[in-house]
């Protein structure tokens, strides 16, 4: 069993943080997405979406999509629970993880990929106006998270979850996207300082 990843890319980091929180050690195989390694016939046979991360099981099964990989490990190692507890708790974590993934992570990704000339060969067509259009979406979502974190310790309530991992990686991805976030978001800053201090954040 191994995970194919690109070290600097944000989605593989979500999986590494998740595994570190669970105390699971896994071998990683690095491939270079900037050099076109994901477009080869060999990698495309593993993941037709040409994206990392991918978990390769010993029987050859390939599991792509960050949340699918995390769910696989949650099933095998339920503690600490990172997808919530009980029907309502799991639904709540799912709700917040999807909100953060679609509302923040995706918007930051669009800013980065559509405005950075180095990403032109991966993001085609690169539409600068779409990158710009996503900047207010990022700030709207940060405003919402700031209100949530005024009332709760973590994004999905009082327990650390995959929603915190997705939000941490999305917010850290704002740096290479040249987006500022701290000003006016004191509760997000309190939360970010805390989750960044967990050993898993270095994964
Ligand atoms: N929905 C996928 C997205 C994975 C993804 O976009 N990965 C990026 C790295 S963070 C990638 O492989 N990019 C390669 C490319 O754009 O060609 C997931 O959740 O894992």
Ligand 1 neighbourhood includes 71 CB (under 6 angstroms): no
- The whole-number pLDDT of residue 104 equals 98
Burial class (CB in 10 A: 0-12, 13-18, 19+), 129: exposed
Distance CA 95, CA 92 (A): 5
Measured in angstroms, how far is the CA atom of residue 108 from the centroid of ligand 1? 13
Ordered mean pLDDT values, 10 residues apiece, the chain (203 residues): 97 98 98 95 98 98 98 98 98 98 98 96 96 98 98 98 98 98 97 98 96
64: phi then psi, degrees, rounded to nearest 5: -105, 180
Classify the C-alpha dihedral 141-110-74-12 as positive or negative.
negative
Ligand 1 neighbourhood includes 38 CB (under 6 angstroms): yes
Measured in angstroms, how far is the CA atom of residue 110 from the centroid of ligand 1? 12
> Which ligand 1 atom is the nearest neighbour of the CA of 101?
19
Ligand 1 neighbourhood includes 84 CB (under 6 angstroms): no
Contact assessment for residue 145 and residue 167, using Cβ atoms and an 8 Å cutoff:
yes
Ligand 1 neighbourhood includes 122 CB (under 6 angstroms): yes
- The whole-number pLDDT of residue 83 equals 98
Contact assessment for residue 188 and residue 145, using Cβ atoms and an 8 Å cutoff:
yes
Contact assessment for residue 12 and residue 53, using Cβ atoms and an 8 Å cutoff:
yes
H or E segment at 29? strand 28-30
- The whole-number pLDDT of residue 168 equals 98
Beta bridge mates, 2: 56
Ligand 1 neighbourhood includes 131 CB (under 6 angstroms): no
Q: Whose CA is nearest to atom 12 of ligand 1?
A: 51
Domains in the chain, ordered, with CATH?
2-76 (3.40.30.10), 86-202 (1.20.1050.10)
Distance CA 117, CA 124 (A): 11
Q: Whose CA is nearest to atom 9 of ligand 1?
A: 9
Ligand 1 neighbourhood includes 172 CB (under 6 angstroms): no
């Amino acid at each position: 069993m191994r995970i194919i990843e690109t070290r600097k890319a944000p989605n593989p980091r979500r999986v590494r943080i998740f595994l570190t929180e669970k105390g699971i050690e896994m071998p990683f195989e690095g491939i270079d997405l900037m050099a076109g390694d994901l477009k080869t016939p060999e990698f495309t046979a593993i993941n037709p979406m040409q994206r990392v991360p991918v978990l390769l099981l010993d029987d050859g099964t390939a599991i792509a999509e960050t949340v699918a990989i995390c769910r696989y490990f949650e099933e095998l190692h339920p503690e600490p629970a990172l997808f919530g507890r009980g029907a309502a708790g799991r639904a709540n974590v799912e709700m917040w993880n999807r909100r953060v993934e679609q509302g923040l992570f995706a918007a930051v990704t669009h800013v980065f990929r559509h405005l950075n000339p180095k990403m032109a060969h991966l993001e085609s067509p690169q539409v600068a106006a779409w990158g710009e259009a996503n900047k207010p979406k990022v700030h709207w979502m940060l405003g919402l998270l700031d209100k949530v974190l005024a009332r709760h310790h973590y994004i999905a309530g009082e327990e650390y979850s995959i929603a915190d991992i997705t939000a941490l990686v999305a917010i850290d991805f704002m740096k290479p996207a040249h987006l500022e976030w701290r000003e006016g978001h004191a509760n997000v800053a309190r939360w970010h300082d805390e989750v960044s201090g967990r050993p898993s954040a270095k994964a």
